[in-house]
Amino acid sequence: MVFRSAVLVFAGFMLASGNALAEAPVARDAVRAIPVSNDGQPGTSERISAEALAEAVLARVEELKGVKAGARFAKQSKAQAPDVTNAIRAFYRMRQGGPLWVSADGLNDNADTLIAVTSDADSWGLDPKAFTFAAAAKAGGGDALPTAGALADQELALTRIALTYAAHARGGRVDPVDLSNDIFRQRPLIAPASVLTDIAVAEDLKAYLVGLHPQHQQFKLLQLAYLKLRDGGDAAAGDEAEAADAKPQGKKKRKAKRKPMTREQKLRRIRLNMEMWRWMPEELGATHVIANIPAFKVRLNRDGQTIFEERVVVGKYTTQTPLFSDVMEHIIFRPTWGVPNSIKVRELLPGLLRGGDPISRKGLRLQVRGRDANPRSVNWRRADIRNYTVYQPSGPRNALGNVKFMFPNRHAIYMHDTPSKHLFKRSTRMYSHGCIRIRNPQNFAKVLLKTANDWAADQTAQTYKRGPNKEQVNFDAPIPVHLIYATAWVDPKTEKLSFFKDVYKHERHLKFALAGDYRKIRKVRRSVSADYQTIRASVRARSSSQSWLFNSGGGSSSGGNKDWMKNVFNSD
């Protein structure tokens, strides 16, 4: 006689790339109703014992093979790409084969919960196809009885699906470092061994699985907007807006009006933004600063409410503001500006090699062994400018203005004032070398010092106007800072959904990565060391003729831009 058995076919699993393929969802009710046998042989109606099922699970566990790592998977650390197979093997050995998802009656309540949650993955911006599995028919004689081995296959397939879901919920589909050289995020992945232990002791499995998703306010608002739009909400809401409520300046040709986004385009963009939120730290801080690059806005949030908001200028496409989180520790009033190596090499070195003095001409100063020195006294054809300090003293022309906000980090990025106030009137504000300029830094300082040190507004105002140069005010309570990239944003007060231009192409690159199309990703590559060698070689090769790198007098930048100093020294 022909018999049926519920044999799970797990089509594939690769945690790093998020590929878990399947043919169709399992028929849960049918599987639960099928009797099983101890020895797996057809023609018997004997109920399987718990011992036989455990032995079958252990046998399958010992047959497991490690997940073969692809090229990108191999580059990741063990914390990012954990050994799933060893974790599964250790977990079931500890339980002596005791199953999580099956019993002698077939799939248990845990399995039903897991299947229901993973089937609803789209509600969380994930792909349900990554979590499905198939029930295949198997022919034989006697009654239709699945084997203990078939149940063991179901058990392990569901375990892998649970681990895949946990990884995807925590941002495990894509490593953000693969998208850009300016994204510095550590995904909050949970080790597979911990996930399995948590599942085994969970009193409410659904709550545990759903709780793996980000708990940030903005993630939840994006999800609500996604569900509303997906389920028939207003598709006209949330068309791409000019960032930061400003009008384009100057005489420019009128651009063709953008076509409204379709419902599917909006849904895709929301999903991509939800994915980027999965890379964020689990705790942003009850009080925190958040700067959104595509919106050109900085906010100070406290207990879910925005208590300060202001326009900002961010890095150019070629000198992008990096994405990372840190802690703001102090403010410096009337700061000096230490010129970074990137500007020293790319903007000052060409003129110095020609015998000019762009340092003094622009009000900068050179220090040698801690003392001011004449730039013409250095043989720049032999000396490495990266080993010298170039700075701009405090004053009305200082590139950092009257105040800078410090959250010390390895990227040398901070927020600051600027004398170039006119740039805040523009809708697209990408002009800096990476640091963030704030339109009204005095008000920002007032709110920060009130929050961190309980300063009165007039105390901050007096320090801002009449204190000594380079006056550092340390925070009593440091404030977390998050530099983020959100091209879709929901206003917490109005629940209005807005989209912003993908100015650094992070969203575009994420779309490619999720599709496995990494070859289309084009990272912005910058190497000060490589530029240093290139500039020196170019100047030597063209020293006898008019160089393309600079104007007479050595004051211009590489690239022949005559107004480079006006732009650079109003930058960071």
Are the CB atoms for 50 and 152 separated by under 8 Å?
no
Interior/surface letters 352-378, b for 16+ CB within 10 angstroms, e for the rest:
bbbebbbbeebebbbeeeeeebebeeb
First and final CA of the chain: distance in angstroms?
80
Instruction: Give the pLDDT score at 48.
Output: 82
| Longest Cα–Cα distance in the chain | 99
- d(CA 448, CA 445) in angstroms, rounded, equals 5
State both tokens at 305: 């409410």
pTM over 0.85: no
Q: For 501-510, what is the mean pLDDT?
A: 97
Length of the chain counted residue by residue: 572
Cα Rg of the chain (Å, integer): 30
* For residue 3, pLDDT beyond 50: no
Instruction: Give the pLDDT score at 396.
Output: 85
Q: For 359-379, what is the mean pLDDT?
A: 93
Query: What is the distance, to the nearest Å, from the Cα of residue 354 to the centroid of all Cα atoms in its chain?
Result: 43
Secondary structure (3-state) at 108:
coil
Are the CB atoms for 475 and 329 separated by under 8 Å?
yes
Interhelix angle 148-169/192-201, rounded to 10 degrees, is 110
Smallest CA-to-CA distance from 164 within 92, 76, 67, 97 is with 67
% of the chain with per-residue pLDDT over 90:
67
* For residue 545, pLDDT beyond 70: no
Q: Is 150 left (phi over 0), alpha (psi -120 to 50) or beta?
A: alpha
Per-residue pLDDT tens over the stretch 392-409: 999 888 999 999 999 999
Please give the single-letter amino acid code of residue 224: L
Instruction: Give the pLDDT score at 529.
Output: 86
Contacts of 384 (CB under 8 A, 6+ apart): 532
Per-residue pLDDT tens over the stretch 161-203: 999 999 999 999 999 999 999 999 999 999 999 999 999 999 9
Whole-number average pLDDT of the chain: 83
Smallest CA-to-CA distance from 269 within 517, 518, 502 is with 502
Q: In this structure, what is the dihedral angle of CA atoms 137, 141, 142, 145, given to the nearest 10 degrees?
A: -30
Cα within 13 Å of Cα(513), Cβ side? 26
- 215-219, 238-242, 423-427: lowest mean pLDDT where? 238-242
Q: In this structure, what is the dihedral angle of CA atoms 176, 179, 182, 185, given to the nearest 10 degrees?
A: 0
Q: In this structure, what is the dihedral angle of CA atoms 303, 306, 307, 313, given to the nearest 10 degrees?
A: 130
* For residue 490, pLDDT beyond 90: yes
Instruction: Give the pLDDT score at 567.
Output: 47
* For residue 259, pLDDT beyond 80: yes
Per-residue pLDDT tens over the stretch 234-244: 655 666 667 54
* For residue 29, pLDDT beyond 80: no
Are the CB atoms for 276 and 506 separated by under 8 Å?
yes
Instruction: Give the pLDDT score at 235.
Output: 52
More confident residue, 25 or 147: 147
State both tokens at 423: 């740039």
Exposed / middle / buried, residue 567 (Cβ in 10 Å: 0-12, 13-18, 19+): middle
Instruction: Give the pLDDT score at 558.
Output: 33
* For residue 471, pLDDT beyond 80: yes
State both tokens at 276: 């980027």
Query: What is the distance, to the nearest Å, from the Cα of residue 112 to the centroid of all Cα atoms in its chain?
Result: 33
Secondary structure (3-state) at 484:
strand
Per-residue pLDDT tens over the stretch 6-17: 333 333 333 333
More confident residue, 48 or 256: 48
Instruction: Give the pLDDT score at 233.
Output: 75
Contacts of 184 (CB under 8 A, 6+ apart): 177, 322, 323, 324, 411
- d(CA 393, CA 471) in angstroms, rounded, equals 13
Exposed / middle / buried, residue 335 (Cβ in 10 Å: 0-12, 13-18, 19+): buried
- d(CA 557, CA 550) in angstroms, rounded, equals 6
Are the CB atoms for 126 and 169 separated by under 8 Å?
yes
* For residue 250, pLDDT beyond 90: no
Exposed / middle / buried, residue 293 (Cβ in 10 Å: 0-12, 13-18, 19+): buried
Place of tokens 């969380």: 124
